[in-house]
Amino acid sequence: MSTEPAATAPLSVEGLTTSILVGTTWYDAVRDISFHVRPKETLALVGESGCGKSLTALSVMGLLPPAAVRVTSGRIVVDGVDMTAADEPTREAMRGDRIGMIFQEPMTSLNPVLPIGFQVGEALMRHRGFTRRQARERARELLELVRVPAAAERLDAYPHQFSGGMRQRVMIALALACGPRVLIADEPTTALDVTIQAQVLALMADLQEKEGLALLLITHNLGVVASVADRVMVMYGGDVVESGPVHAFFARPTHPYSEALLAAMPRIEGDLPLQPIPGQVPSLTEMPVGCRFQTRCPIRDERCAVLPPMTTVAGDPDHRVRCWARVEA
Amino acid sequence: MSTSAAEFRPSVLKRALRSGGLLFGIALVVVMIVAAIAAPWLAPHDPNAQDVLLVLTPPDAAHLFGTDAFGRDVLSRVLWGARISLYVGFVSTLAGVIIGTAIGVVAGYYGGIVDRLVVAATDVLLSFPQLIMGLLLVAVLGASLGNLIIAIAVTAIPAFVRLARGSTLTMRERDFVDACRTLGFSDLRIMFLHVLPNILDEIVVMASLWLASAIRTEATLAFIGLSVPPPTATWGGIVREGFDNLLDAPWMSIFPSLAILAVMIGLNLVGDGLRDATDPKGAP
Amino acid sequence: MSETLLSVRDLRKIYKTRRGWPIPRTALVRALDGVSFDVRPGEALGVVGESGCGKSTVARVALRLQEADGGSVTFAGADVLGASKSELRALRRRMQMVFQDPASSLDGRQRIVDALGEPIRVHGIAHGAAVRPLVARLLDEVGLPKSALDRYPHEFSGGQRQRIGIARALALGPDLVFADEPVSALDVSVQAQILKLLETLRRERHLAFVFISHDLGVVRYFCQRVVVMYLGRVVESGPVPEIFVDPLHPYTRLLKASSPEPDPVKAVAMTFQEGEPPSPVDPPKGCHFHPRCPIADARCRTERPELRDFAPGRTVACHHVG
């Protein structure tokens, strides 16, 4: 792992708050989150639906639906460019060039009526002024890079002629076309079968190493996190509740939500009894004041009405948790 | 990230009421219907009473819409004509909707050979322009109120078969149809108690647009003399009667035409308004 | 060994697809290519496999939502595939289904009391005012309050909707429930709630399950026995503990190795060779798994391995095992 300081990391987010308009009121769906991702590093953003992990990714990409969602405060710096201060043409120039994104559904993210080769090369024509021929040549190299078999022959194939796993490879090729420094992957393997998921995850790890990518991986699957991430951030109700290096986190999950989430996961080995988390995530309009997990927390007390700060775990400055009961003396 | 924004969508009714066009359309249509129902009381004169002394009188205080070539009061004829025109429109559309939807739901639900036959038949019927179809049927059946209704209903059927079939196919994709079958419900119950209510929105929207079209078809058929025989007043008939004197006495054609126009606008506003109100993506 | 509740023998289902342009060619998809298994009363049998392996088709064909193209399904001694309309209606009281997506499997225009009361009325279990308390009891059994009765499906969260779907499947008092990926659309924390609920129902009602899932962890938690399917065929079956500890078929091993565990020490093994899963439209000859199999040889490419008994209660279809 590189020791590059946070300020010069390819992706750094400082105090990001993103709000959603419900009726006539703005509610904070992502609250004051900060992180950075270094080259060759994978940061996993993990949590259940509604925790704000995808919204964070969209905020970074500047792809929020303008009328109903907005970044209310914070700074997002991608490869030295402040995305929050930039105008739309600048952000557009960044997307697909310095920062790439892959989505959960490779079918709906590809245009069904355009050949694969063209779609992969399109960003190069847009951002790098490649000619059609140059773009096609580079597209072939990219498809080979993501190990699509018989890449040259499949440049003229259409998305429906590819299987789900192959389409996700194409999406990766597309995201990497301009050699971005940052890749955001939003549930990239969730729609895939496990054996294909393993292949795609291996491919991503391999490419990341080769290209020196900073990878922000958004997932609900703690198994995937354990397999590929270097660091993890657990989100609940728009807050980061725990963050730390993967080994430290799994060795010592500290926030009650992290513990509960791990206990709720059925495993294929070991003998841990399944422990559901009671209740459900409150809707955005009914979030409690203070710690948002308090409505389902087994160890809540009166302190939880105030949002706890992030504090260190076991004296490890990298492993931090947001819980009054876990504040170390 | 799934926001709960969708749950805060105002109800269909609320959104419908916020749409000015829809309210105006409803008002327009209701006024016309009330006028038609109340024609016997609203009409200042007997619509068929001729008076040679009053032939082709321009609009004045006694005859707000003027009189026609037989000295009949145009306002009274338009009011009475509304009864026939709206009646034919409503009854034929209703018949077309009921029959067409029933066939469409059954075809979409069962699929297979039944479906293919129904689709082929509607394709043939839809390839005739609506008016030609109506013309043909009235010519064969003879001009009478009942035949007119049948003719216009038949032109409406294939459109509703198509719509209902398509929507039913979409519903079949949803698991609840299979859930119903697993629970041992009969096909009839599933089709008409589960599938139908879920596609009714679209049917109602289309019905209001078709109603406008049915009234127009009736007027057109009346205009070329293929509606209820004279002297019974219908809107298209009155326009036709005034046509011979269009330059000397334009009021005879203008007022019934305005009545037709008002209903068209009203029903189209209702149709569009309902479509916007029932389409979840149309939320403002 | 106790008696058998459901017996599936050599079940076959073939779909015809037409693809190609301008001259479409008809291709046969063998969604089920001779599938056999048994379910005992009160037992949860897991059916696992990846997309396209035919695991959902098993449930649909056994419930007669689709007609089989061969084989037999026997439920409590009665021939399901040959049942007449009225016989089928009677059988359906005892065989129910829970769907993956509860939002899609509930009629959005029915209140909960109507959605759950309808099967009760249709099957003449109760009428009029007697229906409501029965529905309330069902809701209570799946952990929903009485206040849910008069609400509509969209007013509930995904987990609650799945509880409603389960309550509806229980309405007729079945002996067997086919559950098709019942928890895979849910968040982990809610998924565990539903699994606990199903486990309670299985014990208290002595309910048997055919539990279809792609998630080995979920199957390990909920099921006693498991059937592993690959491209329309059963490749391995046996008791859950044994198969999870010692999978025999190379495909079962691949599945296990690919399933990520929440433990960075046990990173997912990515040692198997690459390659796309073959499509069921044109499956490979011989053993369907041979193109991805690390131990495949000439025999695997030509000869289909039969499902053989390996040990008591364990069967496997591989030339290289046993």
Q: DSSP characters for B192-217?
A: IIIIHHHHHHHHHHHHHHHHHHHHHH
Q: Which residues on B lie below 8 Å from C97 (Cβ)? A: 178-179, 182
Note whether B127 contacts A: Cβ–Cβ < 8 A.
no
Q: What is the CA radius of gyration of chain B?
A: 22
Contact A195 C264 (CB under 8 A): no
Note whether C50 contacts A: Cβ–Cβ < 8 A.
yes
Note whether C168 contacts B: Cβ–Cβ < 8 A.
yes
Q: Beginning with the edge strand found earlier in the chain, give each strand of the sheet holding C6-19 in spatial order.
A: C25-39, C6-19, C70-75, C78-79
Note whether C282 contacts A: Cβ–Cβ < 8 A.
no
**Chains touching C (3+ CB pairs < 8 Å):** A, B
Tell me what pLDDT residue B14 has.
65
Note whether B182 contacts A: Cβ–Cβ < 8 A.
no
Inform me whether the pLDDT recorded for A72 exceeds 80: yes
Residues of chain B with pLDDT under 70: 1-19, 278-284
Tell me what pLDDT residue B10 has.
47
Option in C63, C106, C107 nearest B182 (CB): C63
Nearest by Cα to C71 from C63, C62, C60: C62
- Cβ atoms of C294 and C272 within 8 Å: the answer is yes
Per DSSP, C118 falls in state: H
Please give the average per-residue pLDDT across A312-327, as a whole number: 92
Contact C188 A48 (CB under 8 A): yes
Run of H or E residues at C204: helix C188-205
CA distance C9 to chain B (A): 21
Note whether B112 contacts C: Cβ–Cβ < 8 A.
no
Chain C CA closest to residue A262: C262
* CA separation for the pair C1, C11 (Å, rounded): 23
Please give the average per-residue pLDDT across A24-30, as a whole number: 92
The answer to the question of residue A314 being in a domain is: yes
How many Cα atoms sit within 13 Å of A24 on the Cβ side?
A: 0
pLDDT, tens digit only, all 322 positions of chain C: 458 999 999 999 998 877 776 777 788 888 899 999 999 999 999 999 988 888 999 999 999 999 999 999 999 999 999 999 999 999 999 999 999 888 889 988 889 999 999 999 999 999 989 999 999 999 999 999 999 999 999 889 889 999 999 999 999 999 999 999 999 889 888 999 999 999 999 999 999 999 999 999 999 999 999 999 999 999 999 999 999 999 999 999 999 988 888 888 776 655 555 666 667 777 888 999 988 888 889 999 999 999 999 988 899 999 998 7
Note whether C270 contacts A: Cβ–Cβ < 8 A.
yes
Contact A198 C268 (CB under 8 A): yes
Q: How far is CA B189 from CA B133, B186, B192, B197, in A?
A: 34, 5, 5, 11
The answer to the question of residue A101 being in a domain is: no
* CA separation for the pair A189, A132 (Å, rounded): 31
Nearest by Cα to B212 from B77, B85, B123: B85
Q: What is the CA radius of gyration of chain A?
A: 20
* CA separation for the pair A215, A207 (Å, rounded): 10
Inform me whether the pLDDT recorded for A161 exceeds 90: no
User: B165-168 long-range CB contacts below 8 Å, 24 or more apart?
Assistant: B165/B104, B165/B105, B165/B107, B165/B108, B165/B115, B165/B118, B165/B119, B166/B104, B166/B108, B167/B104, B167/B108, B167/B198, B167/B199, B167/B202, B167/B203, B168/B104, B168/B105, B168/B107, B168/B108, B168/B109, B168/B195, B168/B199
Tell me what pLDDT residue B187 has.
92
* CA separation for the pair B243, B253 (Å, rounded): 6
Contact C190 A222 (CB under 8 A): no
Q: Which residues on A lie below 8 Å from B7 (Cβ)? A: 283
Contact A22 B5 (CB under 8 A): yes
* Cα A247 → chain centroid: 19
Chain A CA closest to residue B7: A22
Note whether A273 contacts C: Cβ–Cβ < 8 A.
no
Contact C256 A268 (CB under 8 A): yes
Tell me what pLDDT residue B25 has.
87
| pTM of this structure | 0.86
Q: Which residues on B lie below 8 Å from C117 (Cβ)? A: none
Q: So where are chain B's domains? A: 73-277
* Cα C78 → chain centroid: 21
Nearest by Cα to C231 from C272, C181, C287, C190: C287
Q: Which residues contact A298 (CB under 8 A, 6 or more apart)?
A: A256, A260
Option in C195, C264, C279 nearest A250 (CB): C264
Cα angle value A107/A111/A112 (rounded, 5°)? 75
The whole domain housing A245 covers: 239-329
Tell me what pLDDT residue C241 has.
92
Contact A284 B3 (CB under 8 A): yes
Option in A147, A250, A267 nearest C217 (CB): A267
Structure tokens at A158: 């259409």
Inform me whether the pLDDT recorded for A292 exceeds 80: yes
Give residue-wise pLDDT tens across range B52-80.
Answer: 777 777 777 777 787 777 778 888 888 88
* CA separation for the pair C70, C34 (Å, rounded): 8
- Cβ atoms of B44 and B76 within 8 Å: the answer is yes
3 state SS of A280? coil
Option in B7, B176, B183 nearest C92 (CB): B183
Residue of C16, C60, C107, C152 to mutate for B, most B C-beta atoms under 10 A: C107
CA distance B186 to chain C (A): 9
Tell me the DSSP string of C214-262: S-HHHHHHH-SEEEEEETTEEEEEEEHHHHHHS--SHHHHHHHHHS--S
Q: Is CATH 1.10.3720.10 the right assignment for the domain spanning B73-277?
A: yes
Inform me whether the pLDDT recorded for A4 exceeds 80: no
Contact B1 A285 (CB under 8 A): no
Note whether B4 contacts A: Cβ–Cβ < 8 A.
yes
* CA separation for the pair A232, C240 (Å, rounded): 32
Structure tokens at A109: 């993210």
Q: Which residues contact A41 (CB under 8 A, 6 or more apart)?
A: A1, A2, A214, A215, A230, A231
The answer to the question of residue A107 being in a domain is: no
* CA separation for the pair B77, B232 (Å, rounded): 9
Chain A CA closest to residue C274: A199
Inform me whether the pLDDT recorded for A38 exceeds 90: yes
Tell me what pLDDT residue B35 has.
85
* Cα A273 → chain centroid: 29
Contact B183 C118 (CB under 8 A): yes
Q: Which residues on C lie below 8 Å from A204 (Cβ)? A: none
